[in-house]
């Protein structure tokens, strides 16, 4: 019994000390002024849609600087929410240090395909299926997806999340979703990332892949069996095209599972 009382008393003392420390810290923090704003942006590839000046403008909308303001007067949560409103921001974390430095760490979204639809709209699909607008003056070197694409840009579209929450929806039949699935596979494979430049939706409903090397086109068909088709195609590249050259065939048809049909020029 005595041991339990001692343990309980120790816990009470620790809790009181913790409360005192929090009060002292909050009091000190209320008097501490912002000495600096430190912004760090992480890029997942060589696309630079965001720069430090862009973030400065987001957090200083009224033109006034945070430096010199008491930390107690700065709403860090609001700053974080404003940053997350940017379509190019994947993650944001905003916090203050004990010496008055406001730290802002940001992860930029990674584009994997640029869509050009039938209505002359152009936008990106990121690595998580989120649609992103074009950033004027800061283009990304990614796959092009074009042809018979009739879906339009909406800022709240997330192809991956929508397909998970509505697995039987028309979303999975859309050209945007198919573009995302194929682009995601290509982006994850360094060999194909260096080979394929364009995903084209033709008038017959087939997907075509246009390579960087050679003048042929790859008839991919629909987007089922993506990994199997690419694996078979890679074997064909290594065993056949490496010997006869990239320009021997006009078309390479892999639309049917475990089949490769070629037509010569």
At 107-153, the pLDDT tens digits run 999 999 999 999 999 999 999 999 999 998 899 999 999 999 999 99
Greater confidence, 80 or 243?
A: 80
Separation in Å, CA 49 to CA 53, 57, 111, 137, 144: 11, 14, 10, 9, 18
pLDDT of residue 183: 96
In whole angstroms, give the CA distance from residue 180 to residue 190.
17
- State the pTM of this model: 0.81
Most confident of 2-11, 106-115, 167-176: 106-115
Share of the chain above pLDDT 70, in %: 83
* 169-184: average pLDDT: 84
Mean per-residue pLDDT, 10-31: 61
For residue 184, the model assigns a pLDDT of: 96
Cα maximum dimension of the chain? 94
* CA–CA gap between residue 234 and residue 205 (Å, rounded): 24
Structural domains for the chain: 32-108 (3.10.20.310), 111-264 (3.40.50)
Q: Residue 52 above 80 pLDDT?
A: yes
Listed in sequence order, the residues at least 6 apart from 32 whose beta carbon sits closer than 8 Å to its beta carbon are 70, 71, 98, 99, 100
């Amino acid at each position: 019994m005595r041991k339990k009382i001692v343990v309980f008393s120790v816990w009470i003392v620790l809790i009181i000390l913790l409360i005192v420390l929090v009060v002292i810290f909050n009091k000190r923090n209320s008097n501490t002024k912002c000495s600096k704003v430190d912004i760090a942006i992480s890029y997942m590839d060589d696309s630079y849609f965001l720069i430090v000046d862009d973030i400065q403008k987001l957090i200083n909308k009224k033109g006034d600087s945070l430096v010199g303001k008491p930390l107690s007067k700065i709403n860090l949560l609001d700053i974080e929410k404003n940053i997350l409103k940017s379509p190019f921001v994947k993650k944001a974390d905003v916090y203050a240090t004990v010496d008055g430095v406001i730290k802002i760490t940001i992860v930029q979204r990674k584009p994997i395909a640029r869509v050009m639809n039938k209505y002359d709209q152009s936008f990106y699909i990121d690595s998580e299926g989120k649609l992103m607008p074009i950033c004027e003056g800061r283009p990304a070197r990614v796959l092009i997806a074009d042809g018979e694409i009739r879906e339009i840009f909406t800022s709240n579209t997330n192809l991956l999340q929508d397909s998970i929450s509505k697995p039987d929806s028309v979303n999975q039949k859309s050209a945007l979703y198919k573009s995302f699935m194929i682009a995601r596979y290509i982006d994850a494979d360094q060999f194909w990332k260096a080979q394929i430049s364009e995903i084209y939706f033709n008038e017959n409903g087939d997907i075509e892949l246009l390579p960087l090397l050679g003048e042929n086109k790859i008839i991919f068909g629909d987007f089922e069996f993506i990994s199997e088709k690419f694996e078979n195609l890679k074997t064909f590249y290594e065993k056949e095209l490496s010997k006869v050259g990239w320009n021997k065939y006009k078309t390479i048809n892999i639309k049917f599972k475990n089949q490769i049909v070629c037509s010569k020029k």
